[in-house]
Chain A
Amino acid sequence: MKLRKELWFGYSIMALIIIPVILLTPWGDLFDGNLSRADLGVLGLLMLALICVGIMIGFPTAFTLMGMGVFFAWLAYRSVNPELANRQVLDLFVQRTYGVMSNEVLLAIPLFLFMGYLVERAQLIDRLFRSLHLATARVPGSLAVATIVTCAIFATATGIVGAVVTLMGLLAFPAMLKAGYNVKVSAGAVTAGGCLGILIPPSVMLIVYGAVAGVSVVQLYAGAFLPGFMLAGLYVGYIIVLAKWKPALMPPLAESERYVALPHFAQTLAQHGSNAFTGLWRAVTSSGSDAVAKRTALGQLFVTLTPALFLAAVLAVTWQLATAPEIEASTAGLIEAGGLVAAPEKESEMSTGLIGATELETEKPTGAAEGSKELSPPPVLEKAKTEGAKEVPGAVKAPKAKPAEKVAAEPERLPVPLWLWIAFGIGIGTIVLIYWLWNWERLEVFKMLLSSFFPLALLIIAVLGSIVFGLATPSEAAAVGGFGGFVLAAIYRFITHRRDAKATGSNPGAAVWKTVKELGGIVKESSFLTAKTSAMVCWLFVGSGIFSAAFALLGGQEIIEKWVLSLNMTPVQFMILAQLIIFILGWPLEWTEIIIIFMPIFLPLLPHFHIDPLFFGLLVALNLQTAFLSPPVAMAAFYLKGVSPPHVTLNQIFAGMMPFMGIQLIALALLYIFPAIGLWIPHALYK
């Protein structure tokens, strides 16, 4: 019965496309022997309708696009000059293909995929989840919160929805069920969290969009950062509120579930006081106590001090940047910006070539102008400089070594130090608070986080930071990230093997050998998967290259544009309509197909409605994320079903995903109403 229903659904959608096409196409004009300009436009629309049907039938899309593109491009050329048609089609095809092969933006795709596959196999997700679960133990709905946070971090680094949902379905889902969590809520948390990786950079989706739209990937990454974390934050907020409101859905953890086993030295020292910081300090300084070895205490004290050291380093760097003399700042800026600018500008030019719509030609000059604008010094420096230069000419001359009090004391130098001062205050306040609450259990949890959460977070921040601040192009950052992923995998695998070796008493050399052997396997698997997935994405680009060229040649784009403009829509209406269409397309199609095939149709319309393609891209990314959670085709649900106990039904999972889908729609609306959420960072950094 069920099969029939789904087939009916598919058939009726296809009928919805085919019947109007058959009825509305002026067949007589097409076959009257000569193809006029208007006939070609009709052919273009016909081609678009056919491709929709072709994709839905289920033949590999890349080849459908190729076959159709070649045929229709040939028709278009033939109508102009039948003798040259063959030659022209072949030239067009091969040039489009070569355009994809030498596309600098797409270059980042295999690299990010490789990084993702390596991190996925680094064997750190169980550590990550366990430490976050203990760290959030006091929060209401702690396991669900830990699930979302783990997903946000892990999915960000890997970007593979299926793997993340499966892994969390194996780790977090059982833990939540055992703790008495409601099945629906647990399923919702796992699936919603697993999909975060699509949006939060470095995501492959944004690279693909950047390549199609000719928007700099750097800006897209900078822009998607806040919306991504806003979404994760909304999820967490929803869970906490729900847990408070209906505790029966997510009962607080039993004492045994949040018990942190203390090592021997901590138990000894804990007798003298519950604060670990003072306890360790006493153990190190007092000469008499021999209960705990000095070395252990010193080591632990160092671990304890890392947050303070980290904060001090951050504040010192900020201080340096904020008060650096003007000359130094601007030259440093120019050197760095030199590296930064070359990339985005070239990207936009190369990728406009890829789409082939004539409209985009006009964008080139503006792109170049933006490029030259970007030549100004990089963000932080510039901000500090302009603030300083405008309001307090004196401040910039202040030597770096000047005592802090003096700067603060002189009123006309206040603007620069004021925010810095506030940051100092907040930072120091936080640190004091942290050490006030720093008991022995927290020290253990912190140590666990240090070995799971922070390395991964650091990897992501390093990759994103170097992209956003222009130290490296996305592909460079991805390559270094991939290398980092390899190192992470090596370290975690080695730690596991060494522990095993210690437990069984075998020699440590075997652990090294085992790690190397495993790493070989990991790298091999990861590179095979990378090859397959990038071939899938890039061949789709090859197919769509000739297809969209044919569409432009036939003038289908013009017809669509005229038609849309004749509707006299306001920008808001257009935006909502576009997002609605993309949302609906998200049901039957994969995001790759939507962005690569259908986005080029929307993009030339954006300038008419004064919509920033960057902003549009962020909305699309957020929107397509919803598609992963919307039944009946939500992939995340099927991955979770594959590893959940038999009595968990798909309907329960779908029901659990619904509230999270609602939150996504709220996030979409928020981003739409307050574009600053997405545009603030890119504008602050690059305008």
Chain B
Amino acid sequence: MQKTLLFIDKVSTWVGHAFSWLIVGLTLLITWEVYSRYVLHHSHPWVYDYMIMMYGTLFMMAGAYTLAKNGHVRGDMIYGYFRPRAQATIDLTLYILFFIPGIVAFVWAGYYYAAESWAINEHSNITSEGPAYYPFKTIIPVAGAIVLVQGIVEIIRCVICIKQDAWPSREADVQEVDVDELKKMVHVKDEDIQKLDAYVVHQEPGK
């Protein structure tokens, strides 16, 4: 079971990683466009469409990845103080109550939305002769479906956790604040921090 869960995690992560490269493309595209406009005095109207599409695709396709890494923002007022079993019970209930209906509606609505766009062969309404928009709109149901699958994985995780009273493991990923990495970057070792304690203790009697 755990293997299957981790495999789906990996798929979501892989999709998220693959699409996260869009930010590099987006940065380069806009930088080049700015350069082209100010230095070469030649701007490309279609760049605007691609900018929007790259941004939209980037965050939509990273939704499941973020879910797989437990990265969606949570109100952490009492949740963190619960035992894992209580956490899992809350999560399980709300996944079924909120997540499943919400995301199912999302995929369903997105499916019809995209289908309409395909049917009329929709192109950009922002720039004339702009690029096709139906692939972009297809992103909605596709991203929603991946999030749904990942959500089912999370639900199974909750069930496992309720049984074991411990969260099943996840695979590691890049962290926003990776303390060890930052320590390495500024060449600080744990011993250095330990040594500093002398200065702190030294101050104590004064107060």
Contact indicator per residue, chain A 526-538, by CB within 8 Å of chain B (1) or not (0)? 0111111111111
Instruction: Tell me if A126 is interfacial: C-beta within 8 Å of chain B.
Output: yes
Instruction: Tell me if B112 is interfacial: C-beta within 8 Å of chain A.
Output: yes
Residues in chain A near residue B75, CB distance under 8 A:
55-58, 61, 588-590, 593
Instruction: Given A91-B109, A483-B27, A647-B204, decide whether A60 and B72 contact each other with a Cβ distance below 8 A.
Output: yes
Instruction: Tell me if B91 is interfacial: C-beta within 8 Å of chain A.
Output: yes
* CB-based contact B185/A102 at 8 Å: no
Contact-residue bracket for chain B: 35 or more
User: How far is it, in angstroms, between the C-alpha of A100 and the C-alpha of B56 when the chains are bound?
Assistant: 8
Instruction: Tell me if A171 is interfacial: C-beta within 8 Å of chain B.
Output: yes
Size of interface on A: residues with Cβ below 8 Å to B: 96
Q: Which of these, B77, B87, B97, B186, contacts A125 with CB under 8 Å?
A: B186
* CB-based contact A70/B78 at 8 Å: no
Instruction: Tell me if A435 is interfacial: C-beta within 8 Å of chain B.
Output: no
Which of chain B's residues 60-78 have a Cβ closer than 8 Å to chain A? 60, 62-63, 65-67, 69, 71-78
**B53 CB to nearest chain A CB (Å):** 8
Instruction: Tell me if B168 is interfacial: C-beta within 8 Å of chain A.
Output: no
**Interface SS, A side:** helix
Q: Which of these, B77, B105, B185, contacts A70 with CB under 8 Å?
A: B105
Q: Which of these, A98, A125, A479, A539, contacts B63 with CB under 8 Å?
A: A539
Residues in chain A near residue B157, CB distance under 8 A:
none
**A649 CB to nearest chain B CB (Å):** 9
* CB-based contact B182/A539 at 8 Å: no
Instruction: Given A170-B186, A178-B196, A479-B26, decide whether A57 and B78 contact each other with a Cβ distance below 8 A.
Output: yes
* CB-based contact A645/B60 at 8 Å: no
Instruction: Given A67-B99, A110-B58, decide whether A536 and B77 contact each other with a Cβ distance below 8 A.
Output: no
Among residues of A, the one whose C-beta sits closest to the C-beta of B91 is A59
Instruction: Tell me if A84 is interfacial: C-beta within 8 Å of chain B.
Output: no
Which of chain A's residues 643-659 have a Cβ closer than 8 Å to chain B? 643-648
* CB-based contact B105/A93 at 8 Å: yes
User: How far is it, in angstroms, between the C-alpha of A529 and the C-alpha of B88 when the chains are bound?
Assistant: 26
Instruction: Tell me if B80 is interfacial: C-beta within 8 Å of chain A.
Output: yes
From A14, A67, A183, A529, residue with most partner B Cβ within 10 Å: A67
Residues in chain B near residue A645, CB distance under 8 A:
193-194, 196-197, 199-200
User: How far is it, in angstroms, between the C-alpha of A540 and the C-alpha of B71 when the chains are bound?
Assistant: 12
B residues at A contact (CB < 8 Å): 16-17, 19-21, 23-24, 26-31, 33-34, 38, 51-52, 55-56, 58-60, 62-63, 65-67, 69, 71-81, 87, 90-91, 94-95, 97-103, 105-106, 108-110, 112-113, 136-137, 139-140, 151, 173-174, 176-177, 179, 182-183, 185-188, 192-194, 196-197, 199-201, 203-204
Query: What are 30 inter-chain pairs, A to B, with CB distance below 8 A?
Result: A56-B77, A56-B78, A60-B72, A61-B73, A66-B99, A67-B100, A90-B112, A94-B112, A94-B140, A101-B52, A101-B55, A111-B27, A123-B185, A162-B177, A166-B182, A170-B183, A170-B186, A471-B38, A475-B51, A527-B20, A527-B23, A528-B174, A531-B65, A532-B16, A532-B62, A533-B176, A539-B63, A588-B75, A642-B179, A645-B200
A residues at B contact (CB < 8 Å): 3, 6-7, 10-11, 13-14, 54-64, 66-71, 89-91, 93-94, 97-98, 100-102, 104, 106-107, 110-111, 114, 121, 123, 125-126, 160, 162-163, 166-167, 170-171, 174, 177-178, 180, 182-183, 471-472, 475-476, 479-480, 482-483, 486, 523, 525, 527-540, 543, 588-590, 592-593, 639, 642-648
